[in-house]
Amino acid sequence: VPEFKPELGSVLRAQILEACLGFCVSLLSALPSLTTPQVSFSESDIPSSESTELPVDWSIKTRLLFTSSQPFTWADHLKAQEEAQGIIQHCRATEVTLPQSIQDPKLSTELRCAFQQSLIYWLHPAFSWLPLFPRIGADRKMAGKISPWSNDETLQHILMSDWSVSFTSLYNLLKTKLCPYFYVCTYQFTILFRAAGLAGNDVITALISPTTRGIREAMKNEGIEFSLPLIKEDGYEKKKTPGTSLGNGGEQVISDDDEDEGFSWLEEMGVQDKIKKPDVLSIKLRKEKHEVQMDHKPESVVLVKGMNTLTLLNFLINSKSLIASSGPQAGLPPTLLSPVAFRGATMQMLKARSVNVKTQAVSGYKDQFSLEITGPVMPHSLHSVTMLLKSSQNGSFSAGLYTHEPTSVFNICLPVNRVLHKETLHEELGNCGLHSKTLDQLSQTPALGKSSLRHVELRDFVFNWRS
């Protein structure tokens, strides 16, 4: 008996049942349930891993909370000279190598300067009274803040003109491999631009997430070639890849070949003439429905490669949908985040503070020390800070990592054409402003998928993490 196809639609199924009368009814009652349960993996279902190094994590963290049996007081109250030295080390891309274990961190000027260096990032635009990251879902935090540009078109034009100069400057730095990566954070989506050689790719890449059908159509109309890495493409149609869900019901997107196969069994039953096939318009409407279903979801992530990233740059500069037209973010250009300086950028510092508390133990109370770092923590900062703490805390600490969720999907593994050798990588990206060990980590092929690091534990200089 040919397999019954649930994807033919409820109206068509009713026609088939009417044509086949009691035979189809008995056939359906004999078949097992056609509904496949949707499998979801909770955080606890994902096994932890061990290594002397952490996997690369391209998501942006909003908060890091480190705990240790060793105090973090060395990170507080830097001297003026140490703060100045840390800034100079960052600006000159000075590579600092610390010993494996520091006996007295509070007396280590080298450690304190390196810590200051690791907290620096660059931002545009910058308004001290306005939080500019995250931008997605930030309307509540921005509500009531002074925004003189919201109803001033002249001021909006000036802001956008300055932003375009800064964005172009960043892209040129990326293209010449003097900037390793940067983020463009809009009120709707986030874009990660990566230099050639990072994440296992030998060309410039740009990941956009989340996207909508409207954005994708606008990109198509501008001639930007892109792909949906989490969706296998077959011409215009897209089939669902294993492990991805396009809707709450786990529906698949069906190709034209699948549509034809759906009617072949009707011929075998001899009732093909009695069944009205869906017309072209119906099929098109159903395709559009499935495209819209993945909007705003991780599966909607878009990949742009090579010279198409330049076309994307021009598209973004001229796109009116890039800026909110109403609400607290109205008229405000997207936030640019970078590990290195660029034209029009403002130097910013991640906020760090240490706290000492007493925790209950079997034998009474024991000291528990913590270090909290808040702000847009980019991949290079996460790696730099963990390298420093490995030395300062004698190879033992644990950390809770809080992720800006829309950026978790940046950890997906992309198709790799040619892997650069380590020597070639350091030669080409040696002046991008990153520590050589950080550069090694960022050149790895991402392995976390749509998830990101949530918990990290270091014991005897061995990392154990959970995503």
Q: Do 186 and 314 fall into the same domain?
A: yes
Phi, psi of 449 (to 5 degrees): 70, -135
Q: Do 425 and 447 fall into the same domain?
A: yes
Q: Do 324 and 425 fall into the same domain?
A: no
Q: Do 157 and 204 fall into the same domain?
A: yes
Predicted TM-score of the model (pTM) = 0.79
Distance CA 341, CA 417 (A): 30
Residue-level pLDDT at 281? 59
Residue-level pLDDT at 232? 64
| Within-domain flag for 282 | no
Strands 49-51 and 351-361: unpaired
Q: Do 87 and 190 fall into the same domain?
A: no
| DSSP H/E element including 193 | strand 190-194
Q: Do 165 and 300 fall into the same domain?
A: yes
Q: Look at the alpha carbons of 283, 285, 288, 293 in this order and tell me if their dihedral is positive or negative.
A: negative
pLDDT per residue rounded down to tens, the chain (467 residues):
444 444 445 545 555 555 554 444 344 344 433 333 333 333 434 555 678 889 999 999 999 999 999 999 999 989 999 999 999 999 999 999 999 999 899 999 999 999 999 999 999 999 999 999 999 999 988 988 989 998 899 999 999 999 999 999 999 999 999 999 999 999 999 999 999 999 988 899 999 999 999 999 999 999 999 999 998 643 333 443 333 333 333 334 444 444 455 555 556 666 555 565 565 555 555 555 556 678 889 999 999 999 999 999 999 999 988 999 999 999 999 999 999 999 999 999 999 999 887 776 777 777 789 999 999 999 999 999 999 999 999 999 999 999 999 999 999 998 876 666 778 888 889 999 999 999 999 998 998 999 999 999 999 999 999 98
Residue-level pLDDT at 45? 42
Distance CA 332, CA 117 (A): 29
Residue-level pLDDT at 15? 53
Phi-psi region of 3 (alpha: psi -120 to 50; beta: other; left: phi over 0): beta
Question: Could you tell me which residues come within 8 angstroms of residue 319 by beta carbon, excluding any fewer than 6 positions away?
Answer: 218
201 touches 305 (CB < 8 A): yes
Residue-level pLDDT at 366? 76
| Within-domain flag for 18 | no
Spatial CA neighbour of 338 closest among 199, 181, 208, 191: 181
| Within-domain flag for 368 | yes
Q: Length of the chain, please?
A: 467
| Within-domain flag for 11 | no
Q: Do 165 and 70 fall into the same domain?
A: no
Question: Could you tell me which residues come within 8 angstroms of residue 133 by beta carbon, excluding any fewer than 6 positions away?
Answer: 60, 123, 185, 335, 337, 375, 376, 404
Q: Do 379 and 418 fall into the same domain?
A: yes
Q: How far apart are the first and last CA of the chain?
A: 45
Q: Do 208 and 341 fall into the same domain?
A: yes
Residue-level pLDDT at 371? 96
Q: Do 341 and 367 fall into the same domain?
A: no
Q: Which residues pair with 302 in a beta bridge?
A: 208
| Within-domain flag for 364 | yes
Residue-level pLDDT at 242? 35
120 touches 88 (CB < 8 A): no
- Per the structure, the count of domains in the chain is 2
Spatial CA neighbour of 199 closest among 419, 431, 427: 419
Residue-level pLDDT at 272? 56
Residue-level pLDDT at 320? 87
Residue-level pLDDT at 42? 37
Q: Is 74 helix (H, G, I), strand (E, B) or coil?
A: helix
| Within-domain flag for 115 | no
| Within-domain flag for 25 | no
Distance CA 454, CA 43 (A): 9
| Within-domain flag for 242 | no
Q: Do 166 and 201 fall into the same domain?
A: yes
Q: Do 177 and 135 fall into the same domain?
A: yes
The domain of 446 spans 49-99+350-466
| DSSP H/E element including 110 | helix 109-118
Sheet holding 190-194, edge to edge: 302-305, 205-209, 190-194, 181-185, 335-338, 120-124, 346-349
